[in-house]
Structure 1
Amino acid sequence: MATRTGSWFRSVAVASGFLIGAAGTMALPGEAAGAAVAQVSPAAAQTIQNIGASGAWWVNDLARFAPATRQRVADLLFGPNGIQLSAYRFNIGGGGTGVAAGDRAPQTFLVSPGRYDWNRDPGGTAFLRYAAQYGVPDIVGFVNSAPAVWTSNGKACGGDLKSGSTQAYAGYLADIVTHFRAEGVKINYVSPMNEPRVSFSDCHQEGMHVAPGQRDDIVRAVGQTLASRAPGTRVIADESDHVDKFLSEVPQWAGQPGTAQYVAALAHHTYDFPPDSTLAKIPALARQYGKPTWATELCCWNNPTNPAYGAQYDPTITGGLGMASMMYRDFAVSGDSAFHWWTALSKVMGCNPAGNASCATTINGTGYNDGLIYYDPNFASNGNQNLYLTKRFYALGQYSKFVRPGSVRHAVTGAPSGVQITATFLGGTWTLVVNNLNKSAQSVSVQLPSGGLTATGAYRTSAGENLAAIGLPSVAGSTASLSLPAQSITTYVFRG
């Protein structure tokens, strides 16, 4: 399934299996039924700010790829013929001191406090610049660890931010933002901590523990410094790894005097794969602080019927629908205003695509569901620079290409079991992204608040389709009649 050349609309094999349902549980196959009627509320729910993925840590490998391959990746991620991500997470590396050798030990620009080598991290800066060149609306600079000079153990893993280093650390981040701004690359947001309750003391990657009592100090220092030196660049925090920890720990730091004013968004990860009952507590936290919430990392479930973090490589529509369902829940249940998949590219396929023709298209239990696009883990020795696109890539594109920044979500009720509908409105255009998790076709009529609708586009990803243009649905007044093939994701666009 090499895709560096040829059409990006390329099919992959499908595997059978149950799918993640609306409550994060198993959705059983159903029988085709008569058309249900779903209602789109006239009331606005939340504004979607962006949809994206991160540049960790594949950019360090891609620095060794041919320029044409790097350009192809940029086209796929950021371009109009790709999935047009509206956010890109740029990893501000801490230098990798003490981290096991490999791509999870990214370079740092810092030579010594106040001195920089801007030629470092060529892979990271290349894709940062690509994102800017393609006009990606939001670039987030996120940190796993401060450079070792400011950590308690002198490493970029397993330590804390050293006492008395907060202001120097804030100045360092502002230096990076202002440097790239001077060359025309705007980093819109800075995330100064990542999964801060975890120390990453095994040093398999960069990571820095930040206790809740220190988080408000960091947020204020970084926020104040950016406001002074790089107006318009804001802080997001705290990127807790589990939603339950996010809910309990955000009030411990965001409620401290003078802190919340510097927070643009409250960010969380969902590696605990929480049920709807937990996700449904997030909107109250957002209201408490008057901030949008963002889901900024997710990947790597090992079982779609009972998801938990672990090994599995699934490039099929089963994996694509699993992602799409999680996106729906983050928007509709959590009320999040952004969704960021963990990493755009990965080499953790669990198999050898150069020596096994079915490797890229077949589920295995050794690789990881961490990438949208994969590349050969043995590229350095065998020279294979082909790209392998998964159904997750296309599933994310069903949202990212059409639910653009500023789109306002409206709640939908009355959809049949196993059908999830995300409805958004922007500039006179209604967009419906519809996940049919069932193993049978479904029919649903959707009544929108606007009359005089005209269907202008329809695009589908299924076992045999990849963001493929399909026939337009029939429309009568304010009601659209949708026919949904089994296990499919379809995006419909209407002028109102």
Structure 2
Amino acid sequence: MIRAATAAALLLSAGGALAQTHAPAAPAAVTVALHPAIDRPSTVFEGWGTALAWFANVTGGWPDAERQRLADLFYGPDGLGWTIARYNIGGGNSAETPPYLRQGAAVPGFWRRPSGATCKDWWRADDEAVWDWSQDTNQRWWLDAISARVKHPIFEAFSNSPPWFMTVSGRVSGAEARTDENLRPGQEGAFAAYLARSVDELQRRHRIGFRTLSPVNEPNTDYWYAANTQEGAHWSPARQAAMIDATHAALQTRGLKTTVAAPDETNALLFAADWAGYPPATRARIGQLNVHSYGTTHQTAVRDIARAAGIRLWMSEDDTPLEKDAEDFTGMATPLAFAEHVVMDLKRLEPSAWVFWQAVEHLSTLKGGKGSNWGLVKADLLAGPTGTHPIHVTRKYYAMAQFSRFIRPGYRLVPIDDLDTAGALSADRRTLVLVHVNAGITPRRLVLPRGWTARMLVTDATRNVACASGTTAPPRAIVTLILTRRPGGEPCPGTAPPR
């Protein structure tokens, strides 16, 4: 003990010279060569987006300056530049059911129960008196806001649950048991008519087009039960097929160009099981395959299913907060995990689109505790529609920007041999975008293909989509390399963070 103290005193008296002499050197950069297969046939990418439920059901009713700012953050040219939105056709509980769904999740349905009706059999699709097109004004505000910002938006409608009067339990959150089906027997046609008419009316009233309609969501799971806090319903593969057939028929009956998207399964493993249970005729009625990526097993199997069937594939829902990472607007742990997940989805699924779950999530620390890092923007979703609503743009938002600002609609996904890098090539083949995630503590010297001039943008603990010199990825960083065939390149793009 005495000797250790004496040694420490000598170091201090020498002005730290000895300590400085023995300080660890900066780690040498690890060299990573990036070899894109730009001549291989690959997926044409359609864009990025989000589901509007549930945050749009709240924020669409906020003061105009606040909701306009949010729309700019996601769909504006100086924001994320998203071009896709998934609109949730709500089921809706009965007026007698006490509120129990989480903030924003009680999306209204477009039905009106006649006075005095006490049973579940009062609804008729051809009876105008049981429709109510004044509902869901908040989420519908977002349809108009997106149309005003995006030249050619892609809209998809999706359902989480049938309306309460079509269910077994009388609740839109599921049956009493987790693996029981909640759509009443024989109600496929009525539910399909409800969805198709909703699509038809929304298209006409908002002057938009829904390219696809997804009638079931994460169907073959044990997530949904009556006491749950969000809309949901369990569907076996056979019942999914019946619902897909009914939805296709209802869209055809109304003369709509909208096609069916399915099965919107929670992960690739269950997607493959669902697909295996569909008859050939049902498969032929699907215009788009949707899969979520809340699990990464069997993703290339889904890719191959889509290729063999010749059907467009979307990664239609995901968010990836790092488990047990406390709510943090500026930290890099969750943004890095999120970016790694996006890279691997693009590489393994090779989807035509990548769609976020909830762009705005509730401030999860308001009631104490550590909270979580779901969402790209945080706000108090329990606050009333009036007053002010502080908007917190997180570092994860900028992790998303590293992809969506630069891999644009019309680009082709390009296979890259490095596991931490995703790539895309512009339609004119003159711009190659590479997004690389360095989650480690050592810099990575990225060796680029010959004949390209590179510009690099970085998001790390101190920078948000900021220009950086060279082609070395800093530790704990997400970098986007914009490669062009033009010598000298152009000024670094996309550096101004949205206000």
TM-score grouping bracket, smaller chain normalisation: 0.7 to 0.9
AA aligned opposite 1:241: T
**Whole-angstrom distance in 2 between the partners of 1:49 and 1:220:** 26
Change (3 A) 1:394 1:228: farther
Q: CA RMSD in A?
A: 2.6
Alignment partner of 1:394 is 2:394: no
How do 1:257-276 residues align onto structure 2 when only pairs under 5 Å count? 257-271=280-294, 273-274=295-296
1:313·1:350 contact (CA, 8 Å) conserved in 2? yes
1:419·1:437 contact (CA, 8 Å) conserved in 2? no
Q: What is the CA distance between 1:238 and its match in structure 2?
A: 0.9
User: Segments of 4+ in structure 1 off by > 4 A?
Assistant: 381-384
**Whole-angstrom distance in 1 between the partners of 2:378 and 2:40:** 40
Deviates more, 1:389-398 or 1:159-168: 159-168
Change (3 A) 1:317 1:210: same
1:188·1:232 contact (CA, 8 Å) conserved in 2? yes
2:58·2:381 contact (CA, 8 Å) conserved in 1? no
| Residues 411-442 of structure 1: CA deviation (Å, up to 9, x unaligned) | 112x4xx7424233323332222222222221
Change (3 A) 1:424 1:227: farther
How many aligned positions are there? 429
Alignment partner of 1:191 is 2:193: no
Question: Which of 425, 439, 442 is residue 440 of structure 1 equivalent to?
Answer: 442
Q: Looking at CA atoms only, which structure, 1 or 2, has the larger radius of gyration?
A: 2
Partner of 1:214: 239
Partner of 1:367: 371
Alignment partner of 1:280 is 2:312: no
Question: Which of 41, 56, 66 is residue 59 of structure 1 equivalent to?
Answer: 56
Q: What is the CA distance between 1:301 and its match in structure 2?
A: 4.1
How do 1:328-367 residues align onto structure 2 when only pairs under 5 Å count? 328-351=343-366, 366-367=370-371
**Whole-angstrom distance in 2 between the partners of 1:192 and 1:379:** 31
Q: Larger relative CO (CA 8 A, sep 6+): 1 or 2?
A: 1
How do 1:66-465 residues align onto structure 2 when only pairs under 5 Å count? 66-97=63-94, 98=97, 100-101=100-101, 102-111=103-112, 112-114=123-125, 115-135=130-150, 137-159=153-175, 160-182=182-204, 183-197=206-220, 198=222, 199-229=224-254, 231-253=256-278, 256-271=279-294, 273-274=295-296, 278-299=298-319, 301-303=321-323, 312-315=326-329, 316-351=331-366, 366-376=370-380, 379-380=383-384, 383-413=387-417, 415=418, 419-428=420-429, 429-447=431-449, 451=451, 453-455=452-454, 458-465=456-463
Deviates more, 1:78-87 or 1:198-207: 198-207
SS of alignment partner, residue 108 of structure 2: coil
Partner of 2:20: none
1:32·1:441 contact (CA, 8 Å) conserved in 2? yes
2:321·2:337 contact (CA, 8 Å) conserved in 1? no
**Whole-angstrom distance in 1 between the partners of 2:267 and 2:326:** 20
1:374·1:388 contact (CA, 8 Å) conserved in 2? yes
Q: What is the CA distance between 1:311 and its match in structure 2?
A: 7.7
Q: More strand by proportion, 1 or 2?
A: 1
**Whole-angstrom distance in 2 between the partners of 1:204 and 1:88:** 23
Change (3 A) 1:225 1:495: farther
Q: What is the CA distance between 1:180 and its match in structure 2?
A: 2.2
**Whole-angstrom distance in 2 between the partners of 1:186 and 1:421:** 31
Using the size of structure 1 for normalisation, the TM-score is 0.79
Partner of 2:476: 487
Give percent identity, aligned residues only.
26
Change (3 A) 1:378 1:215: closer
2:161·2:231 contact (CA, 8 Å) conserved in 1? yes
Q: What is the CA distance between 1:207 and its match in structure 2?
A: 0.9
SS of alignment partner, residue 426 of structure 1: coil
**Whole-angstrom distance in 2 between the partners of 1:168 and 1:233:** 18
1:423·1:432 contact (CA, 8 Å) conserved in 2? yes
| Residues 47-106 of structure 1: CA deviation (Å, up to 9, x unaligned) | 223322111212232244211100000010100011011211211111134561542211
